[in-house]
Chain A
Amino acid sequence: MTFKKLKEISEPHFYSIALDRYFAKKWRSALRKLAALAALISFGLSFDILPLSFGKADGMFFVFIFIYLTLSFVEFFYRSMMNEGLTVRIKEKMIDKNESFDYGLSNILYATDEIDVTRGFFEAKIGLLTFLRLGIPYENCKNFVYSERSPIMASALNFDSDFVNLPQYASTLYDIDKSLQSFLAQNSINKAEFVGTVMWVSRMEESKQCKERFWGRENLGAIPSIGTSWSYGVATDLGKFGVPFEYSVDISLFDSENGYREKEVQILENILQRSSEANAIIIDDDEKVARDIVGRLLKKIKLGTSLPSVEHKNIIELDSNNLIASFKNRSELEAEILKILNQSVLAGNIILYVSDLSGFVSSTKNLGINLPSLLSPFLASDNIQIISSATNSDFHFIIESSPTLLERFERVIPDTIGVEASVSVLLEQVLPIEKQYGVMFSYPAILNLAKSADEFITYGEMPSKALDMLIEIAPWAAERKMEVLKENDVSVFVSEKTGISTGMIKEKEMEKIEHLEELLHKRVVGQDEAVSGIASAIRRSRSGIANPKRPISSFLFIGPTGVGKTEVSKSLAESFFGDEKKMVRFDMSEYSSPEALSQLIGDFAMNRSGLLASKVRDNPYGVLLLDEFEKSAPDVLDLFLQVLDEGVFTDALGRQVNCRNLIIIATSNAGSDMIWETIRSGSNLVKSKDVIINSIIKDKIFRPELLNRFDGIIFFHPLQNNELESVARLGLEKLARRLKEKDIEFVVNQDVVDFLVEKGSDPQFGGRSINRAIQNEIEDLIARKIVSGKAKPGSKIEIKREELQ
């Protein structure tokens, strides 16, 4: 299809658009109302018997009637032309669905001349709205559109299909216009974001247009009828403990057109359609998912598009907590439950929603009631429909152990929702939030929000965590007086919330990452290979090219004790997460027994949560340090095989634990002897790396597949004399700082340093023995001086060689 042909098809719309342009809608409407009023008044004044009557009132009346009727006819014409080709939910004869074409697109076509298609796009209201929703300021757009650029002629536009809507038009325009591409790229917007924004904006405009058609069946049918409940009964007791579902879930925002959860709602509807045992249980760890699905079913019922078995029905949520709390006595509670169920059956138009069925079952069990057998006859009958929800573990624990419930409830297992589907939910919910806080969300910001929530929020499921973030970010943006929330603002918010730097790398941070080696070296002496290996892995992760479905980075540090393995981990926590305390440490030698795995991931039978699971859940962003990794039990090593590969593991209670925002460091002194040998014989450690790794594999300390899972195996060599000297100096400077607080100056001289290096060159303990020597020898000496009064506040201490043994 060509541009010319497209313009021909859109012609009916042009009459409405032209009318709007030359005679704005609000003026038309005001004039029409005025004419009606004037006609009425002049009609009144035309009667001779009235005191205010005057001779020309009759003539005036007919003039105003003429104006009123003309404007009304024009308005009908305007509406009719405008709604040509509109897509409506409930089919109507006056709108030919086969011929749908886009009023938004027609607006653009009308504004477009033959010479510059891109300018036409920008000059239409909908085009301008698109740029606003892309988060590009108006001034920038204007500068681009009216700048020197090679314009795209209308004749260059050719479309593949016979049916072209606004998003397709925008996509073609993007492909052809290179200057538009580079302008959008400057604002970090790609094609998918551009077309997605157009789609969103055009959907919003279309739904506005649909809402204005008050005479359409869609809007007339949504007005609730009277008398539909009269032929059904009243459940008085359910009234006390039941809440109409629409009170707890706002169904007005649900967009029944975007296909979200359509499959689940259909499955649910089909279950409820059955002649008997029409009960469903929605199994998901997030109860909101179940509520969302039930809410969408209710929306369908209210719209009148549901299957006959649920038509005119009310979904009532049973407040089981309140019910149980209201009755202390077993028999009373039992009687009340039966009463509620009987009344629901009698009423005939009730779908009962019981959230957390397993909770209800177990709390009634505590009172000695066997709920499954109480419910059983009702569940089996054809007179009642019950929807309930349960988490995965509760379902396995409680429902599966009760054959009655298992048999009577059909399972609905909702699909896990990815980033893309979450975006459509966010788009549903964002408009009222925008209104509430006076902040406008750009489309790329919403995309980023969904992506960040998926990647960085470790608790909860999608799309709930994205929706939670949407609700949190709006007041945050309002506080900062943002008018438009842009993509990068979301990254800033996520960084503030989680402590992880995301989004565009800022100048200050860029410098930090570029000089990460130097930063690490401030605390770590020597170990150049280790430090540069770590720094480059971090750079990979921060530049966004790392795999988001794995931990940020994972390393196996191999080397003898006291060579700085822990110090590197600490300084990594400090430089990457801003605090050395952002570190969870496990001494894996404690997890070498056969029970180790259940200690770490929990115990299903004892319903106990695991240490690793709970610690990672509490500190989802930071360094996970696994000391003496080689001592872990074999099944613990297998667990880490999965963690390193997928970045998640499932604890004993069936909950997923997200490790994707962790830097995992395992340390081991396996192969230290060989490292010593290598260093002693003067060969290069880097070159002998493979030999040492092979010997570790040969000795069956680590399996090769585990070693391969690490981003890097980093060797720490034993400290040389000059490095030991630096360690000694670092330690002494720390001590000097402490003494300074007591107003005593401690002079670090070569004598002391040499003494410490001598003491510290114990191959067994490395740098650690220097720290011990500082503690045992130097600190002890200074303490004596202070106690004996030789060193007073304001004095200077210098230790001579003779004083040291």
Chain B
Amino acid sequence: MSDVYENDSFFLAYIKWHYRKGLRELLYVSQNFLWFVIHFFSFELLIKTLFAPWKRLGETYEGGFNLSAFASTFIVNSLMRAVGFFTKILVLFVGAISYIVVLAFSICILVIWILAPVILVGSLVLSVTFFVI
């Protein structure tokens, strides 16, 4: 349910909005950006396929008992899995950092939002003080 403004003046409507709907929306927008980071870095998919070979590359094991062939296939396949693992881990790491940055940024904005009156009045008072001194 959206808030009712009943012909409030612009200023009054703003004050009402700032601590109700505005705050709520700020949280939703932060949530959206955090969701975006998870989506952009494909967290779910990369974790699920962390140990899968890189781009499904690899060799298939031939039938029969041939130790050297088995060993070479095993090495190639392990290598492919390792390449996949490291690339994905790297991306996940960058993703995690981005997540933390976005989260920190959101918290910063949230603090500014909550303290908005103090910051605005404060900055005015401070500027006057600097001009007077």
Contacts and interface: CB of A to CB of B under 8 A. Distances in A.
B101 to A, nearest CB: 16
Contact of B131 (A59, A73, A77, A92): A59
B113 to A, nearest CB: 9
Contacts of A229: 55
A155 B128 CA distance: 53
B127 A63 contact: yes
A233 B84 CA distance: 12
A220 B28 CA distance: 13
B96 interface: no
Given A93-B28, A216-B32, A217-B32, A59 B55 contact: no
Main secondary structure of the interface of A (DSSP, over half): helix
A73 B22 CA distance: 9
Given A92-B32, A94-B28, A231 B56 contact: yes
B71 interface: no
B131 A231 contact: no
A234 B55 contact: yes
A130 to B, nearest CB: 28
Contacts of A427: none
B55 A73 contact: no
Residue with the greatest number of chain A CB neighbours at <10 A, chosen from B13, B22, B127: B127
B61 interface: no
Contacts of A234: 55-57
Nearest to B126: A62
Contact of B25 (A59, A94, A221): A94
Contacts of B123: 62-63, 65-66, 69
A796 to B, nearest CB: 97
Interface stretch (A10-18, A358-366, A786-794): A10-18
Contacts of A233: 55-57
Interface string A54-69: 0010111111011001
A73 B41 contact: no
Contacts of A216: 32
A367 interface: no
A58 B40 contact: no
A18 B56 contact: no
B120 A220 contact: no
Residue with the greatest number of chain A CB neighbours at <10 A, chosen from B2, B5, B24, B40: B2
Contacts of A220: 32-33, 35-36, 39
Interface string A189-232: 00000000000000000000000000111001101011111111
Main secondary structure of the interface of B (DSSP, over half): helix
A94 B24 contact: yes
B55 to A, nearest CB: 5
A217 B36 CA distance: 8
Given A63-B127, A66-B120, A66-B123, A11 B7 contact: yes
A740 to B, nearest CB: 86
Contacts of B130: 56, 58-59, 62
Interface in A213-268: 215-217, 220-221, 223, 225-234
B42 interface: yes
Contacts of B72: none
B29 interface: yes
A74 B119 CA distance: 15
Contacts of A94: 24-25, 28-29
Given A60-B127, A66-B124, A347-B56, A80 B87 contact: no
Contacts of B45: 227-228, 231, 312
Q: Which 4 A-B pairs have the closest CB atoms?
A: A59-B130, A233-B56, A62-B127, A231-B49
Given A59-B128, A76-B26, A94-B25, 14 more contacts: A15-B5, A58-B130, A62-B124, A62-B127, A69-B119, A76-B25, A77-B18, A80-B17, A80-B21, A94-B24, A217-B35, A220-B32, A221-B36, A229-B55
Interface of A: 11-12, 15, 18-19, 56, 58-63, 65-66, 69-70, 73-74, 76-77, 80-81, 84, 92-94, 96, 99, 215-217, 220-221, 223, 225-234, 312, 346-348
20 contacts: A12-B5, A59-B131, A62-B123, A62-B126, A63-B127, A69-B119, A69-B120, A69-B123, A76-B25, A77-B22, A80-B22, A94-B25, A94-B29, A96-B1, A99-B2, A220-B35, A221-B36, A226-B42, A231-B46, A231-B84
